[in-house]
Structure 1
Amino acid sequence: MAAASSSSGGGVGGGDDEPYLLGFFVSRIVGMRHYPRARVAGRETVGLVRQPLNRYDENAIAVFNARGEQVGHLPAAVAKTLAPLLDSHLLAAAHGIVPRSDSKINSNAYSLPCQIHLFATPDAAAVVEAVLQEAEIDLIHANHPEFALSQSAAVMEQTKKADRDVDKLFSLVGGKEGKARIPPMEAPGDVVRSELFDHQKEALGWMVHREETDDLPPFWEEAEDGGFENVLTHQKTEERPPPLKGGIFADDMGLGKTLTLLSLIGRTKVRNVGVKKAKGAKRRKVEDAGEGPRTTLVVCPPSVFSSWVTQLEEHLEPGSLKVYMYHGERTRDEEELLKYDLVLTTYSILGTEFEQEDSPVKHIEWFRVILDEAHVIKNSTARQTKAVIALNTERRWVVTGTPIQNSSFDLYPLMAFLKFQPFSIKSYWQKLIQRPLEKGNKTGLSRLQNLLGAISLRRIKEADIGTKSMIELPPKTVLECYIDLSAEEREYYDRMEFEGKNIMQEFGDRDSILRNYSTVLYFILRLRQLCDDVSLCPLDMKSWLPSNSLEDVSKNPELLKKLASLVVDGDDFDCPICLSPPTKTVITSCTHIYCQTCIMKILKSSSCRCPICRRSLSKEDLFLAPDVKHSDEDGSGNLGSDRPLSSKVQALLKMLKTSRTEDPLSKSVVFSQFKQMLILLEAPLKNAGFNILRLDGSMSMRKRLQVIKHFAHVGPDAPTVLLASLKAAGTGVNLTAASTVYLFDPWWNPGVEEQAMDRVHRIGQKKEVKVIRLIVKGSIEERILSLQEKKKRLISSAFGKKGGKDDKEMRVEELRMMLGLDKGRPVAGGSGSCPSEACHTGASSRDGGSCS
C-alpha cells in the first residue's frame, strides 16, 4: 500500500515551492458495510491510501482510521480523478477528515461524509485545479465563504494548545519499559551450541519479553467510561488493542545479532515441542501462541543470505532446526513451508512475488517475521517494502545496525511494517515526527527519541569514556591516507573539474540543475573514477560533456550509452521515483533515468510528464538502456606493463607489500564501489605475488559463499587479499579472517562505510583492525568526506536527523558541494601525520595512528 500523502503540507500558505492547502471538497467514505468492526470517531483524521494493485479498481483509494483499520474507500469517480494526480506527484498530499462528532457515527452506517483537503506546490496548482474542474469536483478555496466549515482549520487551531500535552505523552512512553529491568536469558542448549555473550543474553530476554507481553501498545490506555482510548489520536474502541509484539533490534554492527535471533527461533522450537508427555497424553499447549505451526520467516538481502547459512552451520546443533531456503526453485505449497522452523528468503523475491496470487509467502500466517538489514526497505513506495508490510504475522522484528542512513524518514517504513499505530500512517508520522524535525524543532527530536525508546534496543561496541565496552574486541583504528596525483593525472583531473564547474554555473538555478540531473551525476561519477584510475573513464573529454543543456537521446545513441553507463558504473544510482536501483532501466528522450515500471505508471496518469524536468512524455520517448560492456572482464588487465599504474593503485600496492613484510599471513579486504576497478586491480596484485579473490554483486549466492569460505582459509597458499564490492560485501558477511580494510574510494553514505568496516571488526576478530581510506588530495573525494561528516552529525542525534531542507534542495546542495561550488573547502591531512611514502602527504587518524 502506498499512502496518498507523499509530501508534507504547509498551512494555507507556504514557501515559494512548499506544498500548500489548495482547499477541500466534500465526498463520502463508501463500502463501510464490508468493515463492520472498524470505527471512526467524529472529527477524526483518516488515512487515504492508494491501492494501485487493487484487483477491482486500479485507481482505488482506501480509507483507514487512526488505528490503521480499513473502514471503506473513496467513491470510484473521486478515486479516478485523484489517483493519477497522486501517482504523478502533482498532488503532494490528500488528507481526509470526518466532519462531525457523533459517538455512534458508524454503528450501522454504509457511508459517511468526508472532507478531503488537497495540498500541492504552486507550480502544480493550476493543473490540479483544471483536472478537478473537468471532473466537476467543487474545490472550496481559502477565500470561499464555506472554507470556515473545514474541520482542518479547527484542528490547526487546537494544535498549538495540544503541543505541550503531546510532548508530555511522548516523554512518558520512552522510559516506561526501561525502568523495570528485564532479566537476561540463556539460549536453548539443545538447539544453540554456541555460548552467548552477556549482551546477547540481555537482548534475548528483551525480545522474549516483547513477544510475550500482554501490555497495551504505547499511547493506549483504558478509558474511564470503559473501553480503550489512544491518547494521541483520541481513537476509542471497545476491544482491547493487541500488544505490539516485536520492535527494532538495532544493536551496532558486529555485536552478533544473528546468533541472538537464532536463539529466539530456537527457543520457539523448544517450547513448541513442550515437556515430555506421559503415555497417551496430548502435547502440552504452549503458553503464548497455542498449538499449530510456529514457522519464522527471515527476509534479508542476497549478500546476507550466505551469512545466515554460515551462522546456521556454525552455531546450531545439527538437525535441531528444519530450515528451508526459499530461493531459486522453490515450493508453492503453503503446507510444505509450514513444516519448517525457519524459512529464509530475500527482499527481491518477496518483491517479485508481491503481485503473484499463487505466492505462498503472501497467504501464510507466519509465527514470526524478521527483517534482517531492514534499512533496505527505507523507501516506502518500493514494491519489496509493500510486500513485507503486507506479510501476515503477529510478531514483527526489524533488525539493522543502521536504522537511519540519510534521514529520519527512513524510519517510517519500519513503523509501517511493525504496525505501530498511529505512526504506521504516513500523515501521523509527518505531523508528529517528520515536520517538527524538518523545521529544526527540538520537540521533534525528543519525540523521536522517546518513541524509539519504547520499542527498540540499541547498544554500540565502543564504550563512552569511563564505561566498559559491550564486548571485548581488539581496537579499531581508522585513518585517512591522502594521495597526490601525478602531474599528468593532476592536469587531466583539474581540466575536467574546471569544465564541470562551468557547466553547473551555466545551469544556474535549482530547477535547471534538476532538469540536467543525470548529466551532472554522470560528470561527478567520472571525476570520482578519475581519482581511482584514468582507465575507468573515456579519454575523450567531449564525451563527458553535453553539447547543449537539454539533449534528446532519441537522436544520439552515444548519449544513450553514456547515460546507461551511469547506472552500470556508478553502482549507487537510484531511480528518482522509487529511490531504489533501477530495474529494467529506461532513459527518457530528455535524458532522465527511471525504472520501467515507475515511468510507465507516470505515463498512465493525467500529467504524462517527466517528473524531473516536466517535459511531455509518451511511450515513444522511452528507451531501454543498452547493455554497457567493459573489456577486461577476465582481469587480464590493461594495467599491465604497457602503462603506468595510477597513483592510488601504487599507494595501495605499497601498503599491501608493507603488511606482507610484517606478517606474510595477514589478510586484507579492499572495498570499492566500482566493479571495473576491482577487475583492474587484479593484474597488478597478481603480478606483485598476492593470492587474491574477488567478491561482487554479479556472483550467485553460492559463489559468494564459496569465496567467503575460501578467504577464511589459513596457510602459505591461502588467499591474502579480497577485492570486494561495497554492495555485495558491505552487509551481513563475516570477514574476520582479515585485519586490514582499505576503502579504495569514499562512499556518499557514512553508514555504508561503517557496515563495510564492521565486516572485519566484529565478534570473532582476534587482531587489531586497521581501516585505511584512500583519498586523493585536492579532489572531489575530500568533499565527499565533508558530506559524510555532515550526514554523521545529522544522524548521530539518537536515530534522528535534525533540521532539514526538502529533498530536492538537499540534492542540489550536495551536487554543488561535490563540484566545490559551495563556500569553504576542507584542508587535507588533518591533525595526524603519516610516515609512509605510499601516502605522499599525510594521514589523519581518529586514534592518532598512522596508516602503515
Structure 2
Amino acid sequence: MASSSSRGGGGGDGDDDNELYLVGFVVANIVGMRYYQGKITGREPVGFVREPLNTYDGNAIAVYNRRNDKVGHIAATVAAVLAPLIDSHLVAAVQGIVPKASSKAPHRLPCQVHLFARRTAFPAVAAAIDAGGLDLIHADHPEFALSESAAVMERTKRKPNRDVDKLFSLVGKGGKSQIEPMEAPGDVVTSELFDHQKEALGWLVHREESNDMPPFWEESKEGGFENVLTNQTVKERPPPLKGGIFADDMGLGKTLTLLSLIGRSKARNGDAKKANGAKRRKVKVAGEAPRPTLVVCPPSVFSAWVTQLEEQLKPGSLKVYLYHGERTKDKKELLKYDLVLSTYTTLGAEFEQEDSPVKEIDWFRVILDEAHVIKNSAAQQTKAVIALNTERRWVVTGTPIQNSSFDLYPLMAFLRFQPFAIKSYWQSLIQRPLEKGDKTGLSRLQNLLAAISLRRTKDMETGSKSMVNLPSKTVMACYIDLSAEEREYYDQMELEGKNKMQEFGDRDSILRNYSTVLYFILRLRQLCNDVALCPLDMKSWLPADSLGDVAKNPELLKKLASLVDDGDDFDCPICLSPPTKTVITSCTHIYCQTCILKILKSSSSRCPICRRSLSKEDLFLAPEVKNPDEDGSGNPESDRPLSSKVQTLLKLLKTSQDKDPLSKSVVFSQFRKMLLLLEKPLKAAGFKILRLDGSMTAKKRLAVIQQFAHVGPDAPTVLLASLKAAGAGVNLTAASTVYLFDPWWNPGVEEQAMDRVHRIGQKKDVKVIRLIVKGSIEERILSLQERKKSLIANAFGKKKGGKDDKEMRIEELRMMMGLQ
C-alpha cells in the first residue's frame, strides 16, 4: 500500500530505470495489536500505510489485514529504517505477508516486509537497511526461499505445482455456459426480457446463490482451507464471492436485468414469509424481514433509474426510496424499503458524517451503476462505497477500463476480492507485468475477469444470431476543409504551440509547463470548431515567464480556471478523472483538491508534474467561471460568417430532414459555448431545437429528454448536448442520427455518446457522423483513440501491454502538437 505515484515503466528487463524489482524482504514484528479490532487468523497478506502525521511516531507504518481492517503498526525500530526509504521513494512499493498467526504472543506478530525498488536504487536501499541494523534477505540469501510472498514464489519457482500463471489459467473455466437463463419475476417486472437479458439474470442469480469457494481457494490436505495464490490458510471455509462485474456493452438493457434481480429477491422473500409464517411465528426467518438493495449511480443516471422504475415495474410491487437531496437520517425508515437509490456524490459527502444511516445498514445487496466513476481510489466517494456493509456486491459498467488497467483496482477493492483488494498484490501480480508489456500480466487479467465478470457486446453472436436484434449502426467521418482565414488562424496557433514545445525541450521541462501545452491543445481544438470559441490574442493569455506564479498573477489564475471550464474532458493528472473542486498550484498545474492534498501529506510535498516544493499556501481554488443560461442570439459575434464546420453540419441536417421531416438528430460537443453558438443558425434554418448541458439541474435535464421524445410536426428535431449532461444512462432513442461535433480523447466516451441513441428501444438504423477537420489536431486525436481502444480489449481480449503513464502522457502531448 505504501508506494510511489509512479506505477512502473515499459521496456525490456533490466534496461528500464522505471521498472520495479524485488530488493528482498526484512522480518518485522507487528505491534500494538491489542488497540485495534483487525485480526489475522492464519497465513495472510497484509498492506501498509505510512502515517507521517502520527502524533506518537513520525515514522509510523500502519498494518491492514486483507479485509482492510487496521491490525497494528510495524515495530518502531524497523519503521525508523523503512519510513525514510518509503518517503524518499527509494523504496517504491512495499507488500507484506504474515507467515502464520501465533497464539503465544497475541499482541505481537512476525511479518515479512517485501521491498520493491528500481534497480538503480538497490545499493542505496541495501546500505540503509544494513546501517539500520536490519537483515535484508535478498535473492542470494540462504533464507530467501523461506519467503511466503507470491511474488517471491513466482521468481524462485520453489513449488512447481504453485506456478502463479498456471493458477490463473485454471480460474473461471467452464462456468457460464452451464448456467440456465432465467425469466423476470412477473409479479414485479412488466417487460419481457430479451434472451441475452435472461442469460444475464441467470448468471447474476447463480453468482449470488452459489456456495462455491472464491477463486484461488481450495481445501487443504492438512485440514482447513488455503489460498493457492498467496499461501494464506484459514480454519473456516472462506465465504463465496457473492457478486462480480456486470460489464455488458452500453445499451443492452443492464438496468432492466438488475431490476429483475431485485424483484426476484422481493418475490422470494415474500414466498419465505408465507411458507414460514404459520410454523415459526416467534423465530426470525431468512426472508421475513428483507433488507433493502442499495443502488448507487452518478447524478446524470439518477433520472434514468427513476424512469425505468416507473415504466418497467408493476405499481406498488417494490417500495423505493430516493436517498438524494432532502433525505432521512433514520436507519429504521430506510429498512422499510426494497430499493434505496442514491448517488456517489451523496455517499461521498456523508462518508465522514457520524449520523449517516447508509453506513450503519447491513444491506442485502449493493449495486454500483456506471462504476467506472470510482476509478480514483483516493476520492471520498470511492472510499464511501468500499466501506459499505453487504455480502452481495455488484459492479456495473460497460466501460470498466477507461485510462489504464489500474482503473480496475478500486473495483476489486469494492468487491472485496482477495488478494487483489490489497493494492500491493494487485500491483505485483497484475499491474507491473502489464505495464512492462509482459504477456503473463495480460493473461492473468483476462483469466481473473473471466472468473468474476460477464461481458457481452452488441455485435457478439450466440449460435447463429446476434446478441440483440438492434438496427444497424454506421459510423463515418466527414472531413472538412477550413476556409483560408480559419486556416491562417489555425496554422499560426499550431506554429506557436510547436515552437513552445521545442523551446521546452526535454520531458521534465514539458511536464513543468504542462498547463501551457494543454492551453495550445485546447485552443487548436476550438479553432477547428469555430474561431469565436478561441481568444486570438495568444500572447496576452500566456504568462511572460513560463514558470509564472499564479499567486502573483490573479489574471493567470482566472485564465487557467477557464481552461478547465472550456474543456469538458479535462482530467486531473493524478487520478485521470475530471477535477472535483479544482485546485491550481502556484506552479500553474491543475489537480483535484483531494488528489493534491494527499500528495502534500507525504513527506516529499512536491508537485507531481514539475517537482517544485509545495505547501497548502501554494494551492488556489479555481475561481468559479460563470455560465449564463444564454443562447447564441445574445453573442456579440453572432452576425459573423458561420464557421466551415457549422456550415457542414447545417448541410447534413438539411439533407437528413429532406429525406425524413420527422427524423431527429443529436449533436454532441464538449464545448458548452459551442452548443450556445449553434442555437441561432439552427433556429434560423428552421430546426426546432433543445439544449442539454451540464449547467442544468437534474429535473431540467429530465424534462428536456422527455420533450425530445415527443413525435409530431411541432416536436423538436435537434438536441444539442454535452456529455456531462447526456452521458451514461440517458435514453435518446427518439433520434436516429448522431453528430460528434468534436472528437474526444477517450473512445469510450464517444461510445457512450453513440449508445445514448443506439440501444434497446431503437427502431431505426442509426448513423453516426464524426466531423473532422483535415490536416488538424482532430485527425491526430483519431489516431490516439485507436491506441486507447485496446484498453478494454486488453482485459477481455488479446492485445499487447502498455507504457508508463507519464511516458504515455509526454508522447501524447508531442503527438497532439504534430511533433511525431
What is the 5 A alignment of 1:16-165?
16-19=17-20, 27-33=28-34, 34=36, 38-41=40-43, 45-49=45-49, 61-65=61-65, 71-74=71-74, 92-98=92-98, 105-106=102-103, 108-119=105-116, 156=152, 159=155, 161=157, 165=163
Which deviations, in whole Å up to 9, do the C-alpha atoms of 1:167-190 show, x marking residues without a partner? 2222221214135x1111111111
Contact 1:23 1:117 in 2 (8 A): yes
**Which residue, 600, 605, 616 being the options, matches 2:602?**
605
2:590 maps to which residue? 593
Alignment partner of 1:636: what SS?
helix
Rounded to whole Å, the distance in 2 between the matches of 1:343 and 1:331 is 12
- Counterpart of 1:805? 803
Structure 2 counterparts to residues 231-270 of structure 1, below 5 A: 231-270=228-267
Checking the alignment, whether the CA contact within 8 Å between 2:97 and 2:148 is kept in structure 1 is no
| Counterparts of 1:616 and 1:287, CA distance in 2 | 60
Structure 2 CA distance, aligned partners of 1:567 and 1:684?
27
Matched position secondary structure for 2:633: coil
**1:759 counterpart letter in structure 2:** R
What SS does the corresponding residue of 2:393 show, helix, strand or coil? strand
Are 2:728 and 1:739 aligned? no
Do the aligned partners of residues 104 and 746 (structure 1) sit closer, same or farther apart at CA in structure 2, a change above 3 Å counting? closer
Q: Which of 346, 355, 364 is the aligned partner of 1:358?
A: 355
Cα contact 1:730–1:759 (8 A) shared by 2: yes
Q: Distance in 2 between matches of 1:716 and 1:611?
A: 56
The alignment status of 1:750 with 2:771, answered yes or no, reads no
Write the distance in 2 (CA, Å) between the matches of 1:209 and 1:692.
Answer: 47
User: SS at 1:73's partner residue?
Assistant: strand
Q: In the alignment, which residue of structure 1 is the partner of 2:16?
A: 15
Equivalent-residue separation in structure 2 for 1:36 and 1:506 (angstroms): 54
Give the equivalent residue in structure 2 for 1:825: none
SS of 1:358's equivalent? coil
Amino acid at match of 1:404: I
Matches within 5 A, 1:398-413: 398-413=395-410
Q: Cα 1:268–1:589, aligned 2, differ >3 Å: closer, same or farther?
A: same
> For residue 649 of structure 2, what is the amino acid of its counterpart?
L
Cα distance between partner residues in 1 of 2:488 and 2:109: 70
Q: Is the 8 A contact 1:39 1:106 kept in 2?
A: no
Shifted more, 439-448 versus 351-360: the winner is: 439-448
565-574 vs 434-443, which deviates more?
Answer: 434-443
**SS in structure 1 at match of 2:456:** coil
The residue identity in structure 2 corresponding to 1:796 is: A
> How far is 1:783 from its partner?
0.4
Say whether the 8 Å CA contact 1:4–1:48 is kept in structure 2. Answer: no
Please tell me whether the aligned partners of residues 87 and 602 of structure 1 are also in contact (alpha carbons under 8 angstroms): no
For 1:206 and 1:285, the matched residues in 2 are separated by 35
Residue 463 of structure 1, CA deviation: 3.5
Q: Residue 768 of structure 2 aligns with which residue?
A: 771
Structure 1 Cα separation of the partners of residues 103 and 242 of structure 2: 29
Q: Secondary structure at the match of 1:366?
A: strand
Structure 1 residue 25, shift from structure 2 partner: 5.6
Q: Distance in 2 between matches of 1:732 and 1:510?
A: 39
1:458-477 residue pairs with structure 2 within 5 A? 458-463=455-460, 467-477=464-474
SS at match of 1:174: coil
Cα distance in 2, alignment partners of residues 661 and 55 from structure 1: 74
Cα offsets for 1:132-190 (capped at 9, x unmatched): 89xx96576799998977966996375252688222222221214135x1111111111
Shift of 1:793: 3.0
**Pairing 1:193–2:190 present:** yes
Distance in 2 of aligned mates of 1:54 and 1:242: 35
Deviation at 1:576, TM superposition (A): 2.6
Instruction: Give 1:265 shift.
Output: 0.5
Q: Kindly provide the amino acid, as one letter, of the partner of residue 39 in structure 1.
A: T
Say yes or no: does 1:320 pair with 2:317.
yes
Q: Distance in 2 between matches of 1:167 and 1:620?
A: 49
Q: 2:580·2:592 contact (CA, 8 Å) conserved in 1?
A: yes
TM-score when normalising by structure 2: 0.91
> In the alignment, what sits opposite 2:166?
168
Does the C-alpha gap of structure 1 residues 632 and 47 become closer, same or farther in structure 2, counting only changes over 3 Å?
closer
Distance 1:185 1:222 in 2: 32
Answer yes or no: is the 8 Å Cα contact 1:6–1:93 preserved in 2.
no
Deviations 1:17-67 (A, max 9, x none): 4456677665421233455852243xx653224689999999975424457
1:157–1:321 Cα change, 3 Å: closer
Taking the aligned partners of 1:508 and 1:741, their CA distance within structure 2 comes to 41
Q: Give the aligned partner of residue 817 of structure 1.
A: 815
Write out per-residue CA displacement over residues 512-556 of structure 1, whole angstroms, 9 at most, x where no aligned residue. Answer: 111111111121111111111111111202135443332222222
Q: Percent identity?
A: 77
Residue of 288, 294, 302 corresponding to 2:291: 294
3-state SS in 2 of match to 1:371: strand
1:624 aligns to what? 621
Question: Conserved in 2, the CA contact under 8 Å of 1:26 and 1:113?
Answer: yes
Residues 455-485 of structure 1: per-residue CA shift (max 9 Å, x gap): 1111111145984111111111001011111
**Other structure's SS at 1:796 match:** helix
Distance 1:474 1:25 in 2: 61
1:599 is displaced (CA, Å) by 2.8
Distance 1:455 1:527 in 2: 43
1:680 is matched by which residue type in structure 2? Answer: L
Q: Distance in 2 between matches of 1:722 and 1:421?
A: 46
The aligned residue for residue 833 of structure 1 is none
Question: Which range moves more in the overlay, 582-591 or 488-497?
Answer: 582-591
Instruction: Tell which deviates more after alignment, 116-125 or 328-337.
Output: 116-125
Structure 1 residues 166-175 or 349-358, which shifts more? 166-175
Amino acid at match of 2:403: N
Give the aligned partner of residue 427 of structure 1: 424
The secondary structure found in structure 1 opposite 2:395 is strand
Following superposition, the deviation at residue 616 of structure 1 comes to 1.8
Q: Deviations over 1:619-638 (max 9, x none)?
A: 33222222334678344243
Structure 1: how far apart are the matches of 2:113 and 2:269?
Answer: 49
The runs of 5 or more residues in structure 2 that have no matched partner are none
Q: Hey, what's the Cα distance between the residues in 2 that align with 1:352 and 1:668?
A: 37
**What secondary structure sits across from 1:431 in the alignment?**
helix
8 Å Cα contact 2:17/2:120 also seen in 1:
no
Query: Quick one: distance in 2 between partners of 1:697 and 1:80?
Result: 50
Q: Is the 8 A contact 1:227 1:238 kept in 2?
A: yes
**1:537 match:** 534
| 1:674 maps to which of 671, 693, 697 | 671
Q: Partners of 1:288 and 1:798 in 2: how far apart?
A: 42
Secondary structure at the counterpart of residue 175 of structure 1: coil
CA offset at residue 13 of structure 1?
A: 7.2
State the 1:242 CA deviation: 0.2
Deviations along 1:418-449, one digit per CA (max 9) or x if unpaired, are 11111111222222222222222222222222
Counterpart AA for 1:548 = D
Match of 2:724 among 718, 722, 727: 727
| Aligned-partner Cα distance in 1 for 2:710–2:78 | 64
Against the structure 1 CA distance between its residues 89 and 479, is the aligned structure 2 distance closer, same or farther, given a 3 Å change threshold? farther
The question of whether the paired residues in 2 share the 8 Å contact of 1:564 and 1:627 is answered with: yes
Contact 2:401–2:791 (8 Å) recurs in 1: no
Task: Report the aligned-residue RMSD.
Answer: 3.5
